Chain A
């Protein structure tokens, strides 16, 4: 079966972002970019399903700027067979991205879509659920375990109180949580091979979707800074401060 893996190019998770002086956004000039960590987990899960013989083809897709080709090449170095870039310089938002992905799903007809639960830039946590809604597919969000068998997929989900397992008919959408797997690194020969794998570039107009943002960002600010307090010398002093100064115990 075919798996579609949507991925996103975001700021590298090790970078501490800075807010621009004019409060128009965060400063991404000369900042290291990478594949969103949850998307790496999605690629890894697809590759493992292929290694198990459950999946026959992995198609990676990204909605983003031309430079997102780098992340698609990475996905192919990790094991995706081919990829599609829907190129746009708009700041694409989840609903628009989900509509573009729906158009790709209509063309590719995958039986499973695996994607990250959220991107670490916007922290929206929406795209997978929106894609599932638009395509009429069931969803298994925040997955920590995925088992495909007998035309169904069983997904164990990380929920606030613990774990929940649901069974979904295929085709289905799965969004990944951190503990689903530990992504591998791409080997040099695989990075070289990935350069020859097919990468299709499409325009949003080819898919008939409008990616214009419907939520506008008025301003972006630094969160209120917490300043360091005092060091206490002993447990006694700590208990005293908590009781008599902070009055929290």
Chain B
């Protein structure tokens, strides 16, 4: 067996989720090659070469890969797919975008968002918004997998000494182009990798009221999330959404504020180590999964929490 791991990055730094994908690759077994595709991404390739367990890094540095357009990335991965038995990517919006394209072009099945490796052919994955866990098996010689980052403890960032090989394959399908992007700018940690997440729901009332969560977040070094209800109500942007249709998080501490606890939200956070719920409705379903529940008006409890941290 040999595994090709697609590195998640922004051309400057290697995203930590890649360490989790390498962890999944290690459980599968065999040599691990990491592909870094981007533009001016040499530093990312150097970082990938130091990751524990990686035996080789392929670096495809070209204009065509700058924005990770699925059409170009998929063609590149297919070109490099060679003898790898498993092709892995993180189940991020980047991985979810190009991986099925690779699978289809290789006529290989894809298994999405694996949460556990049973053996090289058998994996566990959540279905029905995490309400059931399926163990699935695929005997095909080549498989494409996306990996749920929060389900695997990342390998060490240092410790490896892989060689970096430049790849001069240029695949520009010429059917799609990048127009622009609006990325949320924040000094707080990223939601999916933060140790502590504090999220607000419909109970926050409006977007301005999220300010009280930001204050607590800054004291705790936490990321701020939101329920779909809060996003749908226009309080905060969608990239803050935690849940089945948003981000999946599993921090050490998750604080749910004014969130009732719809199944769709629980699907995104119930693997958190410790869950705190603050809600004035003591019947709210969120209390059924919370380790510590506080029945209180959030507009009194959160500022008090802020003052006592």
The A interface, classified by DSSP as helix, strand, loop or mixed, is: mixed
Contact of A158 among B100, B239, B308 (CB under 8 A): B239
A73→B294 CA distance, assembly (Å): 47
A154→B179 CA distance, assembly (Å): 8
> Smallest distance from the beta carbon of B242 to chain A beta carbons, Å?
12
A64→B130 CA distance, assembly (Å): 23
Given known A95-B104, A231-B293, A242-B292, contact A16–B131 (CB-CB < 8 A): yes
Please provide the chain B residues from 285 to 309 with a CB less than 8 Å away from any CB of chain A in the complex: 287-296, 301, 304-305, 308-309
Please provide the chain A residues from 96 to 133 with a CB less than 8 Å away from any CB of chain B in the complex: 98, 120-133
B57-65, B105-113, B164-172: which lies at the interface? B105-113
The B interface, classified by DSSP as helix, strand, loop or mixed, is: mixed
Q: Is A241 an interface residue (CB 8 A)?
A: yes
A169→B71 CA distance, assembly (Å): 12
> Smallest distance from the beta carbon of B171 to chain A beta carbons, Å?
13
Contact of B177 among A162, A166, A220 (CB under 8 A): A166
Q: Is B56 an interface residue (CB 8 A)?
A: no
Q: Is A29 an interface residue (CB 8 A)?
A: no
Contact B184 A162 (CB under 8 A): yes
Contact B128 A126 (CB under 8 A): no
> Smallest distance from the beta carbon of A135 to chain B beta carbons, Å?
10
Closest to B231 in A: A179
Contact B96 A141 (CB under 8 A): yes
Given known A126-B100, A141-B70, contact A235–B305 (CB-CB < 8 A): yes
Contact B128 A11 (CB under 8 A): yes
Q: Is A94 an interface residue (CB 8 A)?
A: yes
Contact B96 A249 (CB under 8 A): no
Given known A94-B100, A226-B270, contact A165–B180 (CB-CB < 8 A): yes
Given known A162-B239, A221-B132, contact A124–B112 (CB-CB < 8 A): yes
B29-37, B42-50, B133-141, B200-208: which lies at the interface? B133-141
A215→B113 CA distance, assembly (Å): 14
Contact B181 A16 (CB under 8 A): no
Contact B140 A231 (CB under 8 A): no
Contact A133 B179 (CB under 8 A): no
Given known A215-B138, A223-B130, A223-B131, contact A235–B292 (CB-CB < 8 A): no
Residues of B within 8 A of A228 (CB): 287-290, 293
Contact of B93 among A132, A159, A169 (CB under 8 A): A159
Q: Is B237 an interface residue (CB 8 A)?
A: yes
**CB-defined A-B contacts under 8 Å, sample of 5:** A123-B126, A140-B176, A163-B181, A178-B238, A229-B293
Query: In the complex, given contacts A162-B183, A164-B180, A232-B293, what are 16 additional A-B residue pairs having Cβ atoms less than 8 angstroms apart?
Result: A94-B110, A95-B103, A128-B100, A132-B70, A138-B176, A141-B96, A160-B92, A160-B93, A160-B94, A168-B176, A215-B138, A221-B132, A226-B288, A228-B288, A232-B294, A235-B301
Q: Which residues of B contact A (CB under 8 A)?
A: 67, 69-71, 74, 92-94, 96-105, 107, 109-113, 122, 126-138, 140, 173, 175-184, 192, 196, 220, 228, 231-232, 237-239, 244-245, 247, 252-253, 263, 270, 273-276, 282, 287-296, 301, 304-305, 308-309
